[in-house]
Amino acid sequence: MTNFETTRQQFDLPEGMIYLNGNSLGPMPKASVPAMTSFLNDEWRTELIKGWNTKNWFMQTNTLGDRVGRLIGAPEGTTVVGDTLSIKVFQAVAAGMAMVPDRRVILSDNGNFPTDLYMVEGLIKLKDAGYELRTPDPEDVMDSITEEVGVVMITEVDYRTGRRHDMKAIIEKAHAKGAVVVWDLAHSAGAVPVDVGGTDTDFAIGCTYKYLNGGPGAPAFIYVAPRLLETVEPFLSGWYGHEAPFAFDTDYRPMPGKIERMRIGTPSIASFALLSVALDIWDQVDMDEVHAKSVDLSELFIREVEARCPGLKLVSPRDPQARGSHVSFAFEHGYAAMQALIADNVIGDFRAPDVMRFGITPLFVNEADILGAVDKLERILKEERYKEERFQKRSLVT
């Protein structure tokens, strides 16, 4: 059984801070500092180039990938970490397009995270072969899956509202129509139970710096269904995915039949050290219990905000099973109100045009945090502190 007080004690949160932004950047595990010190002193400094063998740096893409894979229902040997999420979007969608070469439509939705759409737009330009990206409203995705569609690329949990797509239903319809499915799990991994194996997902991608707490710029991951590992085309054909990377052949041959073929270039071993200790915490928890606790805390937050904070409108689904692990409210002065909250040591974030977003992450957030955050939000609204001039200026990162 997951002990959330134990997991909370394993994070190094500043004294007095209520951190409701783990959906954007997870906090630092206390073990991060000794882990990085050990990497510097006991690995890089002493082993130098030997570390690729003596410290098994070369296969950490896979060993860490399997640990992430456990959190998304992936069988062993189907997930690797490395590169960035944008790169993994490109890689997965390109591979999916190659599986259905006679189809020219990539289907997403207009609530998807923009960079996913940007990457597909760039891929289409490279193809220059009549491809089309369609982005209906999220509610219309199911009806938009037709025989024209080659690849369905969807982020399971909407980054603004937290609305959750029905993964199983979309995959079943897409497969019935002959389409390939790419799932972005950036707001799912570590937030809600995911079963890529049980739902017969083709490809899944995601990041490890949000709920998984791997640190700023932590590596992304990619999952490929076992049935595809022999034939999937990597497209971004780097040395790390070569069949014989140290033969130094001048022609590229992907690693046959293994997830290694989806590796690209040399990964950051320093970032792997941070991700590893973050996953040590995740090794202690059960995702169903994490989700149940998230629902309890989210429901409390929604009740308290709606009772005490007039002017805020819930834009997340009211059904807790239809949303991820963040809760969003729209407010006319949302940006300024969030800056006032941050100044009062409650950290959430803002998404244009008017959405105040709050991550409910049970590994380190408890009931007292929820009530304390709403207390401060209620006072800010009542006193109209958000109208202060210092809260009007937009920072470079919002």
Q: Within a 10 A sphere around the Cβ of 353, how many other Cβ atoms?
A: 10
Annotated catalytic residue within 67, 357, 364, 369: 357
CA-closest candidate to residue 207, choices 255, 159, 136 = 159
Q: What's the rounded Cα separation, in Å, for the pair 151 and 100?
A: 8
Residue of 39, 113, 335, 350 marked catalytic: 113
Cβ atoms of 95 and 141 within 8 Å: the answer is no
Beta-carbon contacts of residue 135 (< 8 Å; ≥ 6 apart): 108, 109, 110, 112, 117
Which one of 19, 209, 235, 329 is the catalytic residue?
Answer: 209
Question: Phi first, then psi: what are they for 355, rounded to 5°?
Answer: -100, 125
184 is catalytic: yes
Exposure on the CB side of residue 206, measured as CA atoms within 13 A = 34
Q: Read out DSSP for 92-141?
A: HHHHHHHHSTT--EEE--TTS-HHHHHHHHHHHHHH-SS-EEE---GGGH
Task: Clarify whether 113 is annotated catalytic.
Answer: yes
Q: Which of 115, 62, 56, 63 is nearest to 89 (CA)?
A: 115
The DSSP result for 12-41, as a single string, is -PPTT-EE--TTTSPPPBTTHHHHHHHIII
Q: Which of the residues 67, 173, 210, 323 is marked catalytic? A: 210
In whole angstroms, what is the distance from residue 222 CA to residue 92 CA?
Answer: 8
Annotation says 118 is catalytic: no
Catalytic residue from among 184, 202, 349, 369: 184
Active site (catalytic) residues: 113, 184, 209-210, 357
